[in-house]
Amino acid sequence: MIFSPECDHCEHMVDSMKMIADKFKTTQLLLVAEDRNKQYMGGFITKTGIGSHPLFQKIGTNKGELIFAIYTYKILPQINFYNSKHLLEKTFEGNYPFDSVKMFIR
């Protein structure tokens, strides 16, 4: 999930994922924000209550231009689902029904 720690939609997406955390059997979650937002990460973690949650331990910022090199996003959050062969299956951008995202979580 590419997100901004100042994004309300991103907070809501994290809240939705917390509610179904038990469904993450083989799906791994990685949250990445742009490095320029690093100063806001602590507030996001506190506000969403994910600090000690096992599902949300892979969270950080991109120190280079990797996000821009790989992804073209217009609206956050962007969730990208990859299969076990590391091939992109589906991308969701912006505000979308959580049920459509939930069906990709295994």
- How many whole angstroms separate alpha carbon 43 and alpha carbon 104? 28
pLDDT given for residue 41 in this prediction: 96
Report pLDDT digits (tens) over 4-48: 999 999 999 999 999 999 999 999 999 999 998 999 999 999 999
Q: Which amino acid is at 99?
A: D
State the alpha helices, DSSP H only, in the chain.
8-19, 41-48, 66-70, 98-102
Give the pLDDT confidence score for residue 23 in this predicted structure: 93
pLDDT tens digits, residue range 61-104?
Answer: 988 777 778 887 778 999 999 999 999 999 999 888 888 899 89
Give the pLDDT score at 67: 79
**Counts of helices then strands in the chain (DSSP H, E):** 4, 4
Round to whole Å and give the CA distance between 44 and 71: 23
